[in-house]
C-alpha cells in the first residue's frame, strides 16, 4: 500500500475501493457488446435521420465503445417499438428505442388505446430536439396560407392515431377552424410528401419543422411548398421571420388553448430515446451520460448541421419529470383533448 493510502481510515479505504471497482465495472459493462437502437418509424424519415446520427456518435462516449446498430420498427405511431422495448427486448441496456412524442401521450389522450407500454414507467435517456411543427401545402395547389384552409375543404395527408400529422390535423379542425379533409393511412411523412407531389393531397399538418428542413430542403429553396402555420408553445424565431403565423393566432377560447397546450406540450420532448423500465441503474447512468456528452460533441453537431437537423436537447431526468407532469393533467382537460384529436 502506498504511503498516501496507508494513513487513511478503514472506512475511507473501503469507499475508495468501491469507487475503483464501480469505475472498472462501468468500463467493462459495454465492452464487446452491441446496442440495438430501435427507431419507431420507417427508413428515411425525420426520426430515422435523427436516430442514425445519434448511433454514429454515441458509442464514442460509452465506456467499452460498443457498436450501435439502428433497426427500424414502424407501427402505431412508434408505440409498437416502445412496446417491444418495454415487454420483449433485453432489459440490460443493450436495446434502446427512439420514439415519437405521440406514443408517449397516446395512453393519456387515447381513451380506448391499446396500451403497448406505460410511458411513465420507461426510463428516458434524453431528447435530441424540442421544437416547432408546421402545416405545409403544395404551392401548385393554390393553398397559400392557413386562411385558405379555413375557407374551403382540401385533402390533407396524415399517418395514424398517436402520430402528429393525424392528431394535430384533427386538433386544428376542432380548435382553429380548419376545414380540410384528413386522408390518413400514409406510412410516414416521406410517403405524404410523395402524395403531395402526385396531387393526392394538398398538404399536411403536424410535420416537424426540423424534418421539413432536413428532408425537403429543395422544396423550401425552390418554393414548392408554402408553410401555413407554426405549432409550438412559443413562437419559433426562424418561422416568425418568414412571416408564418402561430397557432395562438387562431385558437381563441381559453379551454381550446388549454387543450392545444396539452397536445403540443409533447414537442418539448420531440426526439426521445428510452430504455426499458427494468434497466439496472448502472447502464442507465452510462447511457444518460453518453447521450448528454453526444449532444455537445463537435463531430455530432457538425454531422447534424450537414443533415440540417436541429439539436436542442434535454436530459433524460428532465424528460422523465415532464412526462410525469403531463400525465397528471386534470381529467376535464384530458377529456377535451381526447375529443379534439379524434374523428
Would you state the pLDDT for residue 263? 93
Give the span between the Cα atoms of 133 and 268, in whole angstroms: 11
Burial class from Cβ neighbours inside 10 Å (0-12, 13-18, 19+) for residue 198 reads: exposed
Would you state the pLDDT for residue 130? 82
End-to-end, the C-alpha distance of the chain in Å comes to 73
Give the span between the Cα atoms of 309 and 49, in whole angstroms: 8
Would you state the pLDDT for residue 7? 53
Domains for the chain: give ranges and CATH numbers.
Answer: 31-130+270-330 (3.40.190.150), 133-266 (3.40.190.10)
Contact 279, 91 (CB under 8 A): yes
pLDDT band at 137; cut points 50, 70, 90 = very high
- Indicate the average pLDDT of the chain: 91
pLDDT band at 342; cut points 50, 70, 90 = confident
- Which residues are within 8 A (CB) of 322 and not within 5 positions of it... i.e. 6 or more apart? 265, 268, 269, 314
pLDDT band at 106; cut points 50, 70, 90 = confident
Burial class from Cβ neighbours inside 10 Å (0-12, 13-18, 19+) for residue 191 reads: middle
Give the span between the Cα atoms of 241 and 225, in whole angstroms: 17
Percent of residues, the chain, with pLDDT higher than 70: 92
pLDDT band at 22; cut points 50, 70, 90 = very low
Would you state the pLDDT for residue 253? 94
Would you state the pLDDT for residue 18? 42
Give the span between the Cα atoms of 112 and 89, in whole angstroms: 25
Query: pLDDT (tens digit, 9 = 90+) per residue, 258-282?
Result: 999 999 988 888 899 999 999 999 9
Burial class from Cβ neighbours inside 10 Å (0-12, 13-18, 19+) for residue 293 reads: middle
The conformational region for residue 78 under phi > 0 = left, psi -120 to 50 = alpha, else beta, is left
Contact 134, 212 (CB under 8 A): yes
The answer, as to whether pTM is greater than 0.85, is no
> How many CB atoms sit inside 10 A of residue 187's CB?
14
Taking every pair of Cα atoms in the chain, the longest distance, rounded to a whole number of angstroms, is: 84
Q: Buried b / exposed e across 226-241, counting CB within 10 Å, b at 16+?
A: bbbbbbbeebbeebee
- Taken in order 301, 304, 305, 311, the sign of the CA dihedral is negative
Would you state the pLDDT for residue 112? 64
Residue 26, pLDDT > 70, answer no
Residue 20, pLDDT > 50, answer no
The conformational region for residue 129 under phi > 0 = left, psi -120 to 50 = alpha, else beta, is beta
Query: pLDDT (tens digit, 9 = 90+) per residue, 170-213?
Result: 999 999 999 999 999 998 898 999 999 999 999 999 999 988 98
Amino acid at each position: 500500500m502506498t504511503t498516501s493510502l496507508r494513513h487513511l481510515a478503514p472506512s475511507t479505504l473501503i469507499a475508495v475501493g468501491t469507487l475503483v471497482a464501480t469505475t472498472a465495472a462501468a468500463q467493462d459493462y459495454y465492452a464487446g457488446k452491441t446496442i440495438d437502437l430501435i427507431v419507431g418509424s420507417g427508413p428515411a424519415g425525420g426520426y430515422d435521420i435523427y436516430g442514425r446520427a445519434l448511433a454514429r456518435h454515441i458509442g464514442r462516449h460509452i465506456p467499452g465503445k460498443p457498436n450501435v446498430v439502428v433497426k427500424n420498427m414502424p407501427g402505431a405511431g412508434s408505440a409498437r417499438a416502445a412496446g417491444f422495448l418495454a415487454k420483449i427486448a433485453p432489459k440490460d441496456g443493450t436495446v434502446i428505442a427512439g420514439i415519437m412524442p405521440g406514443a408517449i401521450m397516446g395512453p393519456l389522450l387515447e381513451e380506448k388505446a391499446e396500451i403497448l407500454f406505460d410511458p411513465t414507467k420507461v426510463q428516458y435517456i434524453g431528447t435530441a430536439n424540442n421544437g416547432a411543427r408546421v402545416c405545409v401545402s403544395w404551392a401548385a395547389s393554390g393553398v397559400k396560407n392557413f386562411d385558405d384552409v379555413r375557407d374551403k375543404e382540401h385533402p390533407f395527408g396524415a399517418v395514424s392515431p398517436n402520430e402528429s400529422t393525424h392528431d394535430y390535423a384533427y386538433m386544428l379542425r376542432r380548435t382553429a377552424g380548419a376545414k380540410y379533409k384528413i386522408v390518413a393511412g400514409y406510412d410516414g411523412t416521406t410517403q405524404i410528401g410523395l402524395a403531395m407531389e402526385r396531387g393526392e393531397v394538398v398538404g399536411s399538418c403536424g410535420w416537424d419543422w426540423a424534418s421539413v428542413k432536413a428532408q425537403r430542403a429543395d422544396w423550401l429553396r425552390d418554393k414548392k411548398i408554402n408553410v401555413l402555420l407554426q405549432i409550438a408553445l412559443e413562437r419559433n424565431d426562424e418561422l416568425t421571420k418568414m412571416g408564418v403565423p402561430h397557432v395562438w393566432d387562431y385558437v381563441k377560447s381559453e379551454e381550446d388553448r388549454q387543450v392545444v397546450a396539452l397536445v403540443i406540450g409533447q414537442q418539448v420532448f420531440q426526439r426521445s430515446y428510452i430504455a426499458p423500465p427494468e434497466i439496472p441503474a448502472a447502464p442507465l447512468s452510462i447511457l444518460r451520460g453518453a447521450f448528454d456528452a453526444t449532444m455537445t460533441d463537435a463531430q455530432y453537431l457538425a454531422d447534424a448541421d450537414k443533415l440540417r437537423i436541429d439539436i436542442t436537447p434535454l436530459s433524460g431526468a428532465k424528460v422523465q419529470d415532464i412526462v410525469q407532469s403531463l400525465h397528471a393533467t386534470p381529467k376535464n382537460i384530458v377529456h377535451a383533448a381526447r375529443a379534439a384529436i379524434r374523428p
